[in-house]
Amino acid sequence: MKPIRTPVPLLAIFLVFFRIGLFSFGGGLSGWIYREVVTLRGWMSDSDFLSGLALGQVLPGANVTNLSVYIGQQLRGPAGAFCAVLGLLTGPFFAVIGLAVAYDRVVDMPWIQNAMSGAAAAAIGLLLIVAVKGAYQASRRLTSFGILAATFVTVGLLQWPLVPVVLCLAPVSVTLAWPRTGSDA
């Protein structure tokens, strides 16, 4: 029998998820949610949280949003789910709006334009490095290189649509790779 707990205030749910949404980005959000909800506040047990995490990863949509809905629902029902998602999304929403306003005010400054051009050049360079490394890995065998070259020629040079090209070349690629065994298959 579970002990009877006092309901978690809706404002507390909102504020926890607001702080998580505002001050965190990228990976690791579920770890921070775990720390806040299970470790620090004791609002859920480990098993309940892990069940929600697994459910959030299986359902379509953003895992963290799904997890927030689950936690809010478990704590206070539909109102809790609403407060959790609202808190998670409100901070980043206003942060992006603020950054857009700031960008609009400084975009005409020459040093900002130079910085953006430099960032774009760096992004293109990183993309090329990843592409070259991927091409190198794919070209270790002649058949893999042939599929890579055919894709590049048809999509990159001849400007054919990507989806039909992939639908035609994927079965060929799988057929050519099928008899191989080993780590590069």
What digits encode the pLDDT tens for the residues 21-30? 988 766 678 8
**End residue of a domain, out of 73, 106, 139:** 106
Residues 66 and 97 in one domain: yes
**End residue of a domain, out of 106, 121, 141:** 106
- The reported pLDDT for the residue numbered 160 is 94
**End residue of a domain, out of 60, 81, 106:** 106
Residues 65 and 134 in one domain: no
Residues 102 and 151 in one domain: no
Both tokens of residue 151?
A: 């894709």
Its pTM stands at 0.58
- For residue 183, tell me if it sits in a domain: no
Q: What's the mean pLDDT when you consider all of the chain?
A: 85
- The reported pLDDT for the residue numbered 15 is 96
Which stretches of the chain are DSSP H helices? 10-23, 29-34, 46-58, 63-106, 110-138, 142-151, 162-177
Tell me how many domains the chain contains.
2
Give the CA distances from residue 111 to residues 67, 108, 118, 119, 182, in Å, rounded to whole numbers and listed in that order: 42, 9, 10, 12, 52
- For residue 5, tell me if it sits in a domain: no
Tell me: the pLDDT tens digits for 158-172? 999 999 998 999 899
- The reported pLDDT for the residue numbered 180 is 60
Q: Sorting pLDDT into bands at 50, 70 and 90, what band is 184?
A: low
pLDDT of residue 51 exceeding 70: yes
| Torsion 6-9-10-16 (CA) sign | negative
Give the domain extent around 49.
Answer: 10-106
- For residue 35, tell me if it sits in a domain: yes
Tell me: the pLDDT tens digits for 92-114? 899 889 888 887 777 778 887 88
pLDDT of residue 9 exceeding 90: yes
Give the CA distances from residue 29 to residues 10, 36, 49, 104, 134, in Å, rounded to whole numbers and listed in that order: 21, 11, 13, 30, 29
